[in-house]
């Protein structure tokens, strides 16, 4: 965090207001006129961080003043601040306060650890850090966080429901899943009777009752019960739903029906790779969708009684689970935060069934499946009531898919590499400070990664000439990488005038052109080829002249706005 604080202070000095630089783990404060007011303000901010993932307060920086004048400094004593926060929090927070001098101005840095217990101010106010805000916590928020921090597991508690209430269809599904798990233990469980099966999965209590996890995954449901999952499909993103499924019954069975409903409505785009390989790219990669569904099942707060909601259209697919992210996990650190299960017993049963991994690689896989074919990663959002994962059905990019496919397995599967490539497809160069938040690593780790990707024969990056001498240079894609990615790079596309010239010359010589020819001329995929031809038709440069209306073979000939000189040369 030391580099992040120093980097932020430099940006304040250079003209950015401190408020714009605050993050979920960094906050700037200015001393009030009265010592007591300052300590109350700092104590509330410390409580806010302690009930989230911890963070750093910097005292002596104005929120809304840019430039050197924004670094106002402070004369407060570190021990006064440390004791003031200790006395004004319950249980008392022991923060680390150090003096920090920036360009001759004295500041205080307050490092707040993540709380072991839920923390409040001495006046009983509970709050937590959400993005850059510090909203109050509800009684439900406090109770949930207290259970998670004490290691209490609701899913392992007795539901007081007899083991015989397990749904037969769910038990059949359990045995189907165990058949695909290649361990002796799974084979033995599959062959055991129902009671031994439930016990082996950790879904029975010592008194032979189903645990809450057992009821969630396998328990029978009344016909009038709330559905476990609600699925809506629309043929257009803003249209009426043409399919609404209320999936009742055990969650394990409802989940399988959901995945079948989604996969039934997916379409695939063929991408031709090097070496004659062909890749079928779905609207939404099913591997990524499956991981998002499993995350909703494994980490959703099933105590709320609210269903998992899925909205599906050709343009986007959103999976929303009840409850916030597990304590300590945020959208800004979800790729790097150590795996933490909300309900250990429930998660353990899913792991035995081969549906989740102990190390929690699901989010990484969601990102990787989208980035490998040139799409944007999923968007993860959270509020206190729910978590949503949204996939956007961007067109797959053939150039990116080809390039990633020919990388060695280490880099092809390296999420950091894929994220950096995605950034540099949009920006000519980046420094570690611009990439760190994207890959969710520290500045030092990000700088080391960029340096590693610029070394050796297989280097994909290089420092820009004007910044190579800096401690944190700007990096750009190397020439050979740019050449391979071609039109997949936003700033590397052929100018429209040059593109028009090539198309006009082809039509002059051959009388017409089709999509397949456009793809070959500019090395673009079928969708980009269609867009180029559609633009030329709208401008009147060409018109469709074949009876065929769809496909690569549709032919286009000179239109009313086709260059006159070119038309005359062709007529001669």
- 49 and 329 Cβ atoms separated by less than 8 Å: no
Residue 140, number of CB atoms within 10 A of its CB: 14
Task: Output the pLDDT for position 274.
Answer: 67
**Helix axis angle, 184-191 to 168-179, nearest 10°:** 150
Nearest to 346, CA basis, from 139, 122, 154 = 154
Strand, helix or coil for residue 231: strand
Looking at domain 2-150, its CATH architecture is: 2-Layer Sandwich (3.30)
Alpha helices in 407-478 (DSSP H): 409-412, 415-424, 432-439, 443-453
Phi/psi at 90 (nearest 5 deg)? Answer: -135, 125
Looking at domain 407-490, its CATH architecture is: Orthogonal Bundle (1.10)
Q: What is the pLDDT of residues 261-304, one digit of tens each?
A: 999 999 888 877 666 777 788 889 999 999 999 999 999 999 99
- Which H or E element spans position 475? strand 475-477
Task: Output the pLDDT for position 565.
Answer: 61
Nearest to 251, CA basis, from 290, 307, 181 = 307
Same fold, 407-490 and 494-571: yes
Task: Output the pLDDT for position 88.
Answer: 97
* Cα separation, 233 vs 317, whole angstroms: 9
Nearest to 366, CA basis, from 380, 356, 350, 378 = 378
- What fold is seen in the domain 494-571? Arc Repressor Mutant, subunit A (1.10.10)
- What fold is seen in the domain 229-335+357-392? Heat Shock Protein 90 (3.30.565)
Q: What is the pLDDT of residues 467-519, one digit of tens each?
A: 988 888 999 999 889 888 888 888 765 566 778 888 999 999 899 999 989 88
- 447 and 472 Cβ atoms separated by less than 8 Å: yes
Residue 7 in tokens:
């980097």
* Kind of pairing between the strands at 386-392 and 278-282: unpaired
Nearest to 420, CA basis, from 378, 371, 380 = 371
Task: Output the pLDDT for position 494.
Answer: 58
Task: Output the pLDDT for position 92.
Answer: 96
Strand, helix or coil for residue 405: helix
Report domain extents, the chain. 2-150, 160-218, 229-335+357-392, 407-490, 494-571
Q: Which residues of the chain have pLDDT under 70?
A: 1-2, 223-225, 273-275, 358-361, 492-496, 564-572
Nearest to 479, CA basis, from 498, 462, 454, 467 = 462
- Side by side, the strands of the sheet bearing 308-312 are 241-247, 229-234, 308-312, 316-322, 386-392, 379-382
Task: Output the pLDDT for position 473.
Answer: 94
What is the pTM assigned to this prediction? 0.78
- Report the Cα 472 to chain-centroid distance in Å: 26
DSSP 285-301: -HHHHHHHHHHHHHHS-
């Amino acid at each position: 965090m030391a580099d992040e604080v120093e980097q932020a202070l430099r940006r304040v000095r250079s003209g950015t207001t401190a408020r714009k630089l605050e993050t979920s783990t960094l906050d700037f404060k200015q001393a009030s006129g009265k010592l007591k007011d300052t300590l109350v303000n700092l104590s509330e901010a410390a409580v806010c961080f302690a009930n989230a993932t911890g963070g750093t307060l910097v005292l002596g920086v104005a929120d809304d003043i840019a430039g050197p004048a924004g670094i106002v400094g402070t004369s407060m004593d570190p021990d006064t601040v440390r004791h003031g926060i200790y006395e004004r929090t319950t249980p008392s927070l022991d923060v680390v306060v150090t003096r920090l001098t920036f360009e001759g101005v004295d500041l205080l840095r307050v490092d707040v650890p993540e709380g072991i217990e839920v923390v409040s101010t001495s006046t009983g106010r509970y709050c937590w850090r959400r993005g850059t805000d510090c909203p109050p916590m509800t009684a439900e928020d406090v109770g949930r966080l207290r259970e998670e921090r004490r290691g209490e597991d609701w899913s392992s508690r007795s539901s007081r429901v007899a083991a015989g209430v397990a749904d037969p269809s769910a038990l059949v599904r359990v045995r189907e899943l165990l058949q695909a798990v290649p361990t002796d233990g799974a084979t033995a469980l599959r062959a055991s009777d129902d009671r031994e099966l439930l016990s082996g999965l950790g879904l029975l209590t010592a008194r032979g009752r189903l645990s809450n996890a057992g009821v969630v995954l396998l328990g029978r449901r009344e016909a009038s019960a709330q559905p476990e999952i609600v699925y809506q499909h629309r043929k257009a993103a803003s249209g009426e739903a043409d399919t609404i499924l209320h999936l009742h019954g055990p969650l394990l069975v409802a989940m399988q029906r959901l995945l079948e409903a989604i996969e039934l409505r997916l379409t695939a785009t063929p991408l031709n790779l090097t070496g004659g390989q062909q890749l079928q790219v779905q609207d939404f990669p099913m591997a990524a969708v499956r991981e998002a569904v499993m995350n909703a099942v494994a980490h959703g707060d099933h105590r709320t009684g609210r269903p998992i909601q899925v909205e599906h259209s050709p343009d986007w697919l959103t999976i929303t689970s009840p409850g916030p992210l597990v304590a300590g996990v945020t959208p800004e650190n979800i790729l790097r935060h150590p795996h933490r299960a909300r309900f250990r017993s429930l998660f353990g049963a899913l792991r035995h069934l081969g549906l989740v991994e102990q190390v929690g690689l699901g989010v990484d896989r969601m990102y990787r499946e989208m980035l490998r074919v040139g799409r944007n990663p999923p968007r993860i959002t959270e509020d206190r009531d729910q978590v949503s994962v949204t996939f956007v059905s961007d067109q797959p990019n053939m150039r990116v898919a080809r390039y990633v496919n020919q990388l060695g397995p280490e880099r092809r599967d390296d999420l950091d590499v894929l994220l950096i490539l995605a950034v540099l497809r949009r920006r000519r160069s980046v420094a570690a400070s611009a990439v760190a938040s994207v890959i969710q690593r520290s500045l030092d780790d990000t700088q080391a990664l960029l340096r590693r990707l610029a070394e050796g024969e297989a280097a994909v990056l290089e420092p820009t000439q004007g910044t190579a001498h800096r401690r944190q240079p700007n990096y750009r894609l190397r020439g050979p990488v740019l050449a391979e990615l071609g039109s997949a790079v936003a700033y590397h596309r052929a100018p429209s005038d040059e593109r028009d010239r090539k198309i006009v010359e082809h039509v002059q010589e051959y009388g017409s052109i089709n999509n397949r020819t456009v793809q070959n001329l500019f090395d673009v995929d079928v969708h980009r080829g269609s867009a180029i031809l559609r633009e030329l038709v709208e401008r009147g440069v060409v018109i469709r002249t074949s009876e065929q209306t769809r496909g690569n073979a549709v032919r286009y000939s000179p239109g009313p706005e086709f260059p006159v000189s070119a038309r005359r040369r062709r007529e001669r």
